[in-house]
Amino acid sequence: MDWDTTYLMVMFYGNLVILVLVASTFLKQNYKNILTIFSITILALIISLRDSKVALDTPNYVELFLRNDESFFNQQYIYETGFIYINKIIYLYTDNYHLLFFFITFTHLFIILLLYKKLSNKFFSLLLAMYISTFVFWLSNLSMLRQGLAIPIIALAIFYLVFKDNKKIFFLLSIIAINIHFSSLFISIFIYVCYYVYKKLKISVLKIFLFVFIFLVLYPKNIFIYAILKGFSLFPQYAHSSYILNKVIWYFEWNKLQLWHIKHVYFLIILLFIMAGIIEKNKKYLLLLLIPTSLIGVFKYDEMVTDRLFMYFVPLIPIIIFRVILRVGMKNYGVIMILLLTLGILVWFNIKLIYIQYPGWFIYPYSKVR
């Protein structure tokens, strides 16, 4: 499928799958399971049928797959052995790159499905419909394939760490994700440090931390990055003594960056987190709010770092939205709640994604997209 056909197929099947997943909420468990698996299979198939030139990164991934040469991966600065061997294993059986795309998207959706089933065996299909409406899902499966495969693995790792306190599975899943996309290393370390610091604090203290970080997000200057740069400036002879330190300074230097701005999505997320933080009484769900808010608060001055790393938390957003809805009493109005959520999902998907974001990224990819 070319650019325009892919756009039409995403529009049609995206809406169709969302509606099917929402409708399956009312079915018995076995039928719900079958219909959900069928839906993610269809969606993965549609996404995988795109041409090799659709989306910015697709041509590179197709060339890497067809060459089947590890040295060529390394020439393109791809060293993650997990992703390389996924390509090699699929290439053993076929040189059809569409099967690689199908594997990545189906695996992505299946892991997200497992995550949502663990959190809500009744409403998992509704949570999945909410996630499919996000731009991060489509971006990570149409273009950013390596991170697209790592995102659900890290999301599942967060579940095992925060809800099960299972550090072994957390680190195992983190290692798998790191071998698919190296950015998983930084986010895994950040998540674990935050969890280690926050887990022993009382709920009231966690809420204070949450709103302190929300203030830092809204504050026009980045206190943390400024302090780091100030520290480096006091010892210039040591700061530039190694390639790594020199790179860190260059990366965070004020004159190299534009001030991170609160785009409309982050503004809505902050509003959601404020509401959730006020009404939430469960410590584990508060950690789901506090850890990503800490990330934005610390790294807000670098848009690329913030955006790329925050993508790992996007699968948690539907959970937080649904949790807020339940906490404000909508669980007593099940059908009305689901209808209102469906309307919101469709508006978000068709206006924000299909009308505003998708054309800029996947139809006119070299135009300004923000």
Helix (H) or strand (E) holding 228: helix 223-234
Q: What is the chain's pLDDT, residue by residue, as a tens digit (370 residues)?
A: 877 788 888 899 999 999 999 999 989 999 999 999 999 999 999 999 998 888 878 889 999 899 888 787 777 778 788 999 999 999 999 999 999 999 999 999 999 999 999 999 889 999 999 999 999 999 999 989 999 999 999 999 999 999 999 999 999 999 999 999 988 998 999 999 999 999 999 999 999 999 999 888 887 776 666 676 666 666 665 655 665 566 556 555 544 444 445 566 778 888 899 999 999 889 999 999 999 999 888 877 555 667 788 899 999 999 999 888 887 766 666 678 888 889 999 999 998 888 887 776 666 554 444 3
Query: pTM score, two decimals?
Result: 0.88
Domain ranges within the chain, ordered by starting residue: 1-143+332-370
Q: How far is CA 102 from CA 34, 110, 283, in A?
A: 19, 12, 37
User: How far, in whole angstroms, is CA 56 from its chain's centroid?
Assistant: 18
Q: Which residue has the tokens 């949450």?
A: 210
Q: Which residue has the tokens 């469906």?
A: 342
Is-contact 99 45, C-beta < 8 A?
Answer: no
Is-contact 263 214, C-beta < 8 A?
Answer: no
* Neighbouring C-alpha atoms within 13 Å toward the C-beta of 145: 31
User: How far, in whole angstroms, is CA 111 from its chain's centroid?
Assistant: 13
